[in-house]
Amino acid sequence: MLSIIIVLLNLLIETSVSLTVVVPPDPIVAHVGSTVILPCWISPPENAEALEIRWYRQDQFSNPVLLYNQGKIQDVQEESYRNRSSLALRSDQSGGLKDGDVSLRLEKLRVQDGGLFHCYVSGEHSYGSEEMTLKITALGSAPVLSPKSLDGGRVNISCRSSGWYPEPSVSWTSDEGRVLRPGGTSHTRGADEMISVHSWTTVSLSDAQLVSCSVSLRPGELKEGSLDIQGIVSSGPSDSSGLWKALFLTFLICSLLGLFGLILYRYKHKQTDREEETLERLLKAVVEDMNIEELRQHAVEITIDRERSHPDLKVSKDCKIMRDNPEYKPTGEGFPYQLCAYGAQGFTSGRHYWEVQLKLENTPPKNFWMIGVVKEENLPTRDSSALTASAGFWFLCSDGPYGFCTNTDPLIRFSLTPRPERLGVLLDYDHGQLSFYNVTERKHLLTISCRFSGSLVPLFNPGVGDKSPLKILDLPKPAEPDEPSQPLLSNMAAVELDVKASDNL
């Protein structure tokens, strides 16, 4: 009789102590490389410290992502989750295991982590299990746009971007959001599962100016690139003021930052003599307008502040020449934005001009560099994501095969040919302008307009792996008005000597 009662009682306990496990109904979405928390909890709350908690992938019950048992995390685990998985709080308010929160934290997410996860909790008499989906996405690189001119005043524009997951979609627009039909779009999957995309479209020069390519996973998760086609190819009969307009790029970026760029290109094909002439005259006008001597009236001596430069930079004794330490291996891909050095001179008003040499004799011009100014109060920074205009960074960057860019949002990439061998920088603090010049070609490249505040210091980054170092030039004292071209020549001689000195690096 007594044993029957005990059996009945046991049955009663078993059925009443049921474990209900709860997970969110919708899939969790996270980026490659990020950390995610997969929430899972016991409802109503129950202390889970003495329970078994097992997170596992489909059909991998005995090879779990994480196993907690007998009060601690056990050392049985699918190899790829070692050191990447742990138990975590599903929110700040959570009481943790004591309150039945058995959420899983996964770090350094990979594409392969996408799919079903089972949250299994088991006590002595009962267990509960639920499954949830983790979706992995990866936001790729900023699209690079490149134009190719076709017959009949049309341009074929290519847009390329890599590092996406899953397959992104591509859309094209021109001025004021007019939608352009893509001519073709193709995706390729790399060995690392990441997807590259290439799309092209053709536009007529007469009905588009700024063409944008947007690569997106879903609304709000996109990267965009733009190209001013009028600035690249000029055609059709036009007076010089029209051409002038065409040569100026105008980008409206954000309320803080406007960018005016001037990119000069020679249109090689299908041009009538008359147009050739107009362009020729215009280029000359630009050259004459670009009076280097006038800029050099504002020359200031710039030296590198060693204390604040990145530890992996080599800086010469005179604090003028810098390059990457040959042993330095950048972490991550892409431009090594963190590798910065800063000028020792700060500016709070007025006009200041300096020049930077980007080419040694008998070597091609540097492929990687970043030159500009930064608000002194924001130094030093080791974090590349902090290099925004709103954080007080303004620069022109050369990113090797990816062309040139400024830190605008969205990022605008463009080509500059020829690649600058010597770059002039004019900071006009009072007018809120930072201008860049190709000194060798005597061309204005572009001007970034912004509202400056506080003390600004010059910013330099020599990139990684270039043969030539980056060198701040000693400019001659501002020229006397009666000998306009003399300083330029004597400066050339000085450069040759300086370049030899830089071999000591």
| Interface residues toward ligand NAG, by CB under 6 A | 82-83, 150, 156, 158, 183, 200, 202
Residue 75 CB, nearest approach to ligand NAG (Å): 11
Report d(CA 484, CA 364) in Å as an integer.
Answer: 29
Is the Cβ of residue 157 or residue 339 nearer to ligand NAG in the bound state?
Answer: 157
**Paired tokens of 414:** 């463009």
Residue 146 CB, nearest approach to ligand NAG (Å): 8
Residue 160 CB, nearest approach to ligand NAG (Å): 9
Is the Cβ of residue 126 or residue 158 nearer to ligand NAG in the bound state?
Answer: 158
**Paired tokens of 408:** 């605008």
Residue 317 CB, nearest approach to ligand NAG (Å): 42
Residue 349 to residues 89, 255, 373, 423, Cα–Cα distance (Å): 51, 22, 13, 22
Closest among 62, 96, 91, 66 to 80, alpha carbons compared = 66
287: left (phi over 0), alpha (psi -120 to 50) or beta: alpha
Residue 121 CB, nearest approach to ligand NAG (Å): 26
Residue 149 CB, nearest approach to ligand NAG (Å): 10
Is the Cβ of residue 150 or residue 282 nearer to ligand NAG in the bound state?
Answer: 150
β-bridge pairing 195-204 and 210-218: unpaired
Is the Cβ of residue 144 or residue 243 nearer to ligand NAG in the bound state?
Answer: 144
Residue 488 CB, nearest approach to ligand NAG (Å): 41
Report d(CA 161, CA 195) in Å as an integer.
Answer: 9
Q: Which positions ≥6 away from 336 have C-beta within 8 Å?
A: 324, 330, 368, 461, 463, 464
Residue 200 CB, nearest approach to ligand NAG (Å): 4
Is the Cβ of residue 147 or residue 231 nearer to ligand NAG in the bound state?
Answer: 147
Residue 157 CB, nearest approach to ligand NAG (Å): 8
Q: Which positions ≥6 away from 183 have C-beta within 8 Å?
A: 156, 200, 201, 202
Residue 180 to residues 78, 109, 172, 177, 208, Cα–Cα distance (Å): 48, 36, 5, 9, 10
Residue 67 CB, nearest approach to ligand NAG (Å): 16
Is the Cβ of residue 160 or residue 422 nearer to ligand NAG in the bound state?
Answer: 160
Q: Which positions ≥6 away from 153 have C-beta within 8 Å?
A: 204, 205, 206, 235, 236
Residue 321 CB, nearest approach to ligand NAG (Å): 40
* DSSP label of 140: -
**Paired tokens of 359:** 């080419």
- Residue 328: CB atoms within 10 Å: 16
Radius of gyration of the chain (CA): 30
DSSP string, 392-431: TEEEEEEEGGG-EEES-SS-EEE--SSPPSEEEEEEETTT
Is the Cβ of residue 215 or residue 470 nearer to ligand NAG in the bound state?
Answer: 215
Report d(CA 316, CA 324) in Å as an integer.
Answer: 12
Closest among 396, 75, 406 to 66, alpha carbons compared = 75
Is the Cβ of residue 145 or residue 423 nearer to ligand NAG in the bound state?
Answer: 145
Is the Cβ of residue 83 or residue 504 nearer to ligand NAG in the bound state?
Answer: 83
- Phi–psi pair at 80, nearest 5 degrees: -70, -10
Is the Cβ of residue 156 or residue 238 nearer to ligand NAG in the bound state?
Answer: 156
Residue 30 CB, nearest approach to ligand NAG (Å): 20
Q: Is 263 exposed, middle or buried (0-12, 13-18, 19+ CB in 10 A)?
A: buried
Is the Cβ of residue 81 or residue 436 nearer to ligand NAG in the bound state?
Answer: 81
Is the Cβ of residue 156 or residue 433 nearer to ligand NAG in the bound state?
Answer: 156
- Residue 326: CB atoms within 10 Å: 9
Is-cis flag, bond preceding 39, omega within 30? no
